[in-house]
Amino acid sequence: MIDVKDLTYSQAVGELEGILRKMQSDDCDIDSLAAMTRRAAELLAECRSRLTATDEELRAILATVNPQQQQ
């Protein structure tokens, strides 16, 4: 299984959608369910962290794009 860090966002979301489809379609096998849920959680956390930032991170980013500081 590829490390989530090495996936593009689209690949990660694609894998998530695949997992969800599999969980929805298969007659729920509790052994594979645990593995699928763990992987899904990992992918979700990675996608979220790429989409969103903490307040501190945002402040740091904002400091680099402040129009006053550009001048």
Q: Is the CB of residue 40 less than 8 Å from the CB of residue 20?
A: yes
The gap from C-alpha 15 to its chain's centroid, in whole angstroms, comes to 10
Q: Is the CB of residue 42 less than 8 Å from the CB of residue 4?
A: yes
Residue partners of 22: CB distance under 8 A and separation at least 6: 36
**Interaction residues for other proteins, span 2-61 (CB under 8 A):** 9-10, 13, 16-17, 19-20, 23-24, 28, 30, 33, 36-37, 40-41, 44, 47-48, 50-55, 57-58, 61
In the bound state with other proteins, the residue whose beta carbon lies nearer, of 6 and 55, is 55
> Which residues are at the interface with other proteins (CB under 8 A)?
9-10, 13, 16-17, 19-20, 23-24, 28, 30, 33, 36-37, 40-41, 44, 47-48, 50-55, 57-58, 61-62, 65-68, 70-71
